[in-house]
Amino acid sequence: MTKIGIILGSTRPGRNGEAVARWVHDVAKQRSDAQFDLIDLLDYKLPHLDEAYPPSMGQYSQPHTLRWAETIASYDGFVMVTPEYNHSTSGALKNAIDFLYSEWNNKAVAFVSYGSVGGTRAVEHLRLIAGELQMADVRSQVALSLFTDFENFSVFKPGDHQRDTLNVTLDQVVAWSKALAPLRQS
């Protein structure tokens, strides 16, 4: 069965991302077209990139990198849940992405973002990064506004239409993950 990892891309205390990622996971678990797992960056305790060789060489030496690589390698695609900080993604998510290379290749990626303008600028940056990592980013994305999808900017209450958008996004990431399977096997 196709495996999709839902990456919670914020490690900040009091993060809004945890409620968002759990919502994505709850909606995804109701589907039967793939297995969906929640991957919380807090569980990996990745320091700033500390490998001696570039990730593209695949010569990982640190135990935390090896554990992270094993996790990411086991998935066919991803949904990245990202906040928008200063017109980009979180440093924690960018750092986690930068630790690896081949483990990301030929996999689909979708985005669920949140921020004052829905986190769309963070996703713009992530799409560029995905291209460099040979990932196929799907068109549909969920953009959650702190003004309309959160109460007092901190209690997650997505609009009803967001669930429909999320399902379209999940449809696309599952379809692309399956379509890319032959490339991952070669």
Query: What pLDDT, on the 0 to 100 scale, is given for residue 186?
Result: 75
pLDDT one-digit tens code per residue, 36-89: 999 999 999 999 999 999 999 999 999 999 999 999 999 999 999 999 999 999
* DSSP bridge partners of 81: 8, 112
pLDDT one-digit tens code per residue, 2-43: 999 999 999 999 999 999 999 999 999 999 999 999 999 999
Spatial separation of the C-alpha atoms in residues 16 and 114, rounded to whole Å: 8
pLDDT one-digit tens code per residue, 89-120: 999 999 999 999 999 999 999 999 999 999 99
Tokens of 82: 């990202």
Spatial separation of the C-alpha atoms in residues 135 and 133, rounded to whole Å: 5
pLDDT one-digit tens code per residue, 149-159: 999 999 999 99
Contacts of 186 (CB under 8 A, 6+ apart): none
Spatial separation of the C-alpha atoms in residues 88 and 121, rounded to whole Å: 6
